[in-house]
Structure 1
Amino acid sequence: MEKKLEDYINNLEVPEDKLDIAIEAGFQKAKREKVRLKGKKWWMSVAMVAVLVLGFFTSIRVSPAFANYVSEILGMEKIVELIRFDKGKLTAIENDYYEKLGVSIKKNGVEVVIDGAIVDESGLVFFYTLNTDEPQTEINMDRVVLRNADGKEIENYALSYGGPHYSEKGEKSFNGTIEYFFPENPLFDRELQLEIKLRGENYTFPLSLNNDIKAKKTYQINQTVTIEGQSIFILDATVHPLRVAVHVKMDPNNTKKLLELEDLRLIDENGEAWTKIKDGVNGSLISDNERIYYLQSNYFKEPKELYLTFNKIQAVDKEYANVIVDFEKGEILKQPKGNRIRELEIIGDKIGFNLYYDKDFPYEIVSEAEDAEGRRIEMGSRSFTGYNEGYSNREFQLLELKSYTSPISLKLSYFPEWIQGEAKIRIK
């Protein structure tokens, strides 16, 4: 068992020729992911979850001691499978920072098991198993609510949980995670109630978390990096067991709107890298020029040297940071140079267009919308197709669009245009 599991873990990597398949699989998973953002408006857009599972897949190898630890806990290999692309969560388990819970409730042939949790000041991850008496081709959680011991719902959070779970042949067991993220107020409650609604039934779990919460580590950086004349001020990096928060400010005098530090990562003296979180919240927006990026955690590592580095930034001229659309005439009045957005189609309150680029660009490019009078338009469902023959199709809903004044302004959150250079800051 031990040798088999060690071989399994040590081969958790994506071969180069399978990368596109892995990305597409992750893309489809993200489209099915349920996400709830509650609290400040500066949360990253819900549709951006389609991006979170993407990025550079790297081989994740672990020590024989970790293989031994996992082999001793029944079902732990299923948990490793869920987090195999998150080095922070893996090392948290390796360092015995996973708390086993093992509580279950069964109703009408469906058992929900809360297997365990990883908790820090910034958030928590519950690992769950759904067991059914009969094989299922699809099963889905409809709602998840977290409350304190007094029954009051926890506020100011981002929540993501997997589903629906699919199986073509039908299975009796499914695994997933429920992840809460608290950006403003650390969660110190140790007695909680987790409520799950599934197939019309409510499952309420009183949970006691007994493990000590590891204190965060903060590196003050306060350095400016300039790439192609555009300046970024790096304030600090805060390291939690579940994530690293990197706080950055863009110079308001920049001529370009800097949309995304695409390859931001931590690197130690041996070249080991901790990249952006691929399956969960990977950033939050404080203002137009200030944001926080979330990387996989190196909390349980003690490198002699640690560097923050990036080379590629999505950026557009500020003049073209918004796409202007006349929805009455069905015309694009303004967009970034290159005419990449074409074939605009407006049906009711739905807007669609094709984004042209010479390879796949798996990002949701529009984050906000407002009308000619500056009124914000609420965005509804969003979707986009995979790359096909030079373009991908993008669609989104602007609720009650016809009640607003044309033209509308679509704020770009991502766009296939870059500046490049070398930024490497030693933080330890």
Structure 2
Amino acid sequence: MQEDNQTVDQQVALPLIDPYIRNGIHQAKQLQQKRRRMRWVRLGSGLAACSFLLALFFSIKLSPAVAAYVSHIPGMEKLVELISDDRGLQRAAENDMVQNIGASASHNGVSFTIDQVLMDQKRMLVFYTMKAKEKHKLSVSNVELFDSSGKNWEYGISWSSGDLHETNVIRDRLDIYVGEMNEVPEVLIAKITPAIDSVALDTPLSVTFPIDKTKYISLDEKVYPVMKQVEVDGQRFTIEQIAVFPTQTEVSIRFDPDNTKHVFDFDQLRLVDEKGQTFAFWGNGVPYRDNGPNGVVYHLESMYFVQPEKLYLKASGIRAIDKDKLQVVIDAKQQTLEKAPDSQLQLTALRQNEDVVGMDFTLAVQEQDLHRHYSLLSELTDDVGNEYEHVQSTSSVGNKKTTHSYGYLFKRKTNKGAPSSYQFTLNNYPVRLLGDFSVQVK
């Protein structure tokens, strides 16, 4: 998912404050529904609230075998393009895991067609085509999945923000993640809410499609036990195991609860085999999820259809911060930062309008972070106990190339009085441990 990959200029003239805020509130329901579907997925830097640009560090080429396999099948050309960033998915397609669907629904001149499905027991990729009679900026506003009885199916999901240019057709994919204890139904009902020029339609399109489990049911996961402890800059974590599925490789890591720093994420986490072939996360889908206390499962490119003799888990850096610097506090009356991790983060605006709070930040970054936009926060609290709903996030490159701008919009759900301060816990931050690591895991 990438959830809303657009970057937006956050400098808003004073007379436009109210329209700016109210326009954000108009989107609250759709955004809240979308996030509810992701409740069991840990929100990573490419997923939570704010967009980011992942700096790809390896060149990717479409497998000739995959291109040859799908070239003779009508309608498969776009699928080839949509998996060109992931050689694991290419190998899955090559091994006859693609299900041709062709189910569609239409309403008021807009149609949504599920073209193909590629899936296993952990992940489902739904390739779709959305069309309109006239050219517009087309996107998917909301997705809900149900079984044949109409019961809501538990899942996590991500998708792109759609086409930023006016067109009458888009072809893209939904990335759906199956819950640990959740069985895939024989038939799914997808209720898709299209958006035309960023305005969600009133009526969702309902598309029913079958699941052919014979495509993947015999492909059991491959598990490589590891249980190796790593220490970097005084912080310890254990690589527990590597589990491989046709659509992704899962790396389970557990952090020592006695660590003095909170680890946000790894830079360029990847598996490398004895030939130098790399399996990494390429920026599409969900990068990681929670796995119990202090545990995280990282999603990398699948190596299911290859047989490496040796495997090394590597990272080029580890983003982490002192645990006592995780909390950020804003003085609501003075409109200043009362507590911040360091001088890199600056509050440039605080807008308080009835039940709406908008805040803008600048973040000074180093060269290695020039092309990455981090999700700084997704939840807000205050000193009087009000509850807030996250509505919208934006990010952009600031006036200086070494500065990023971030904007966040929240709606207050309760009325316990005017706060004196706001607080939030950092989701991510561009500060790193001293060192990297490379560990043989097979």
C-alpha contact 2:7 2:394 (8 A) present in aligned 1: no
1:306-355 deviations in Å (ceiling 9; x for gaps) = 22111301111222122222222212122223x01124321111111211
Distance 1:208 1:114 in 2: 11
The 3-state SS of whatever aligns with 2:169 is strand
Q: Which amino acid aligns with 1:54?
A: L
C-alpha contact 2:318 2:436 (8 A) present in aligned 1: no
1:189 is aligned to 185
C-alpha contact 1:371 1:407 (8 A) present in aligned 2: yes
2:153 is aligned to 154
Q: Is 1:392 the equivalent of 2:370?
A: no
CA RMSD in angstroms comes to 2.9
Distance 2:38 2:130 in 1: 29
2:51 is aligned to 50
Distance 2:148 2:337 in 1: 52
Distance 1:215 1:29 in 2: 41
1:16 is aligned to none
C-alpha contact 2:84 2:90 (8 A) present in aligned 1: yes
More divergent stretch after superposition (353-362 vs 372-381)? 372-381
The 3-state SS of whatever aligns with 1:88 is helix
1:216-267 deviations in Å (ceiling 9; x for gaps) = 2222221111011111112222222222222222212222221111221111
1:280-310 deviations in Å (ceiling 9; x for gaps) = 1112234673322211222222212122111
Pairing 1:21-60 to 2, within 5 Å after superposition: 27-28=5-6, 35-38=34-37, 40=39, 43-44=42-43, 46-47=47-48, 50-51=51-52, 54-60=54-60
Q: 1:122 to 1:378 in 2, by over 3 A?
A: same
Any stretches of 5+ residues in structure 2 without a counterpart? 10-26, 195-200
1:133-158 deviations in Å (ceiling 9; x for gaps) = x4413223343221112121102x22
Q: 1:203 to 1:377 in 2, by over 3 A?
A: closer
1:179-221 deviations in Å (ceiling 9; x for gaps) = 2112432433222222223444543222122223332222222
Aligned equivalent of 2:318, options 307, 313, 332: 313
The 3-state SS of whatever aligns with 2:380 is strand
More divergent stretch after superposition (234-243 vs 56-65)? 56-65
Aligned equivalent of 2:276, options 271, 274, 277: 271
1:345 is aligned to 349
Q: Which amino acid aligns with 1:362?
A: H
Pairing 1:237-316 to 2, within 5 Å after superposition: 237-286=242-291, 289-316=294-321
- State the 1:79 CA deviation: 1.2
Aligned equivalent of 2:391, options 360, 380, 397: 380
Aligned equivalent of 2:209, options 178, 187, 207: 207
Distance 2:410 2:374 in 1: 19
1:216 is aligned to 221
Q: 1:248 to 1:369 in 2, by over 3 A?
A: farther
C-alpha contact 2:138 2:169 (8 A) present in aligned 1: no
C-alpha contact 2:282 2:301 (8 A) present in aligned 1: yes
1:369 is aligned to 380
- State the 1:175 CA deviation: 0.2
Structure 2-normalised TM-score? 0.81
Q: 1:113 to 1:92 in 2, by over 3 A?
A: same
- State the 1:176 CA deviation: 1.0
The 3-state SS of whatever aligns with 1:270 is coil
Distance 2:277 2:316 in 1: 17
- State the 1:40 CA deviation: 4.1
Percent of aligned pairs sharing the same letter: 27
1:229 is aligned to 234
1:101-132 deviations in Å (ceiling 9; x for gaps) = 12233444433221110111112111011234
Q: 1:407 to 1:276 in 2, by over 3 A?
A: same
Q: 1:27 to 1:208 in 2, by over 3 A?
A: closer
The 3-state SS of whatever aligns with 2:6 is helix
- State the 1:28 CA deviation: 2.6
- State the 1:164 CA deviation: 3.6
Distance 1:163 1:321 in 2: 30
Q: Which amino acid aligns with 1:67?
A: A
1:367-404 deviations in Å (ceiling 9; x for gaps) = 43333467764433111112431312111123329846
More divergent stretch after superposition (287-296 vs 116-125)? 287-296
Any stretches of 5+ residues in structure 1 without a counterpart? 1-25
Pairing 1:79-118 to 2, within 5 Å after superposition: 79-118=79-118
C-alpha contact 1:27 1:54 (8 A) present in aligned 2: no
Q: Which amino acid aligns with 1:165?
A: D
Distance 1:41 1:60 in 2: 30
Q: 1:334 to 1:58 in 2, by over 3 A?
A: same
Distance 1:167 1:218 in 2: 44
Q: 1:283 to 1:374 in 2, by over 3 A?
A: farther
Structure with more contact order per residue of length (Cα contacts < 8 Å, sep ≥ 6) = 2
Structure 1-normalised TM-score? 0.83
C-alpha contact 1:58 1:85 (8 A) present in aligned 2: no
C-alpha contact 2:50 2:393 (8 A) present in aligned 1: no
- State the 1:406 CA deviation: 3.6
Q: Is 1:427 the equivalent of 2:441?
A: yes
Q: How many residues align?
A: 397
Q: 1:144 to 1:30 in 2, by over 3 A?
A: farther
Q: 1:283 to 1:151 in 2, by over 3 A?
A: same
More divergent stretch after superposition (246-255 vs 395-404)? 395-404
C-alpha contact 2:7 2:395 (8 A) present in aligned 1: no
Q: 1:418 to 1:101 in 2, by over 3 A?
A: same
More divergent stretch after superposition (257-266 vs 369-378)? 369-378
C-alpha contact 1:121 1:216 (8 A) present in aligned 2: no
C-alpha contact 1:159 1:181 (8 A) present in aligned 2: yes
C-alpha contact 1:49 1:280 (8 A) present in aligned 2: no
Q: Which amino acid aligns with 1:357?
A: V
